[in-house]
Amino acid sequence: MTARELMDQLSEFDGNEEVYFEYNYGDYWNNHVAESVGGVHTKFIKWSDYHNSNKIVDEDQVDEDEDNVSPAVVISDSSHAY
């Protein structure tokens, strides 16, 4: 999803509604939880085979010649607000 697609989808909601993001908690019962959004930031991401997912890369660890690191819009939970 692009930032534009997200903005278009959010424009359909009341601007005063609380926003959360949902994820699978990973427990035995396959529960999904909803975390408060703490912020939206530009971060660098890189594919991690270990995590089988993208992971956040600290800006000071980004090598300009590295092909597989890219900037992305990242929505963080309230415990990771920057």
Q: Residue 23 forms beta bridges with which residues? A: 33
What is the distance, to the nearest Å, from the Cα of residue 54 to the centroid of all Cα atoms in its chain? Answer: 10
**Kind of pairing between the strands at 32-48 and 20-24:** antiparallel
Q: What's the mean pLDDT when you consider all of the chain?
A: 88
Each domain of the chain, given as residue ranges in start order, spans: 3-80
For residue 80, how many other CB atoms are within 10 A of its CB? 13
- In this prediction, residues 33-44 reach a mean pLDDT of 92
d(CA 15, CA 59): 32
The one-character DSSP state at 27 is S
pLDDT at residue 43 above 90?
yes
The pLDDT of residue 64: 64
| 59-79 residue pLDDT tens | 877 776 567 899 999 998 877
Asked if 43 contacts 72 with a C-beta cutoff of 8 angstroms, the reply is yes
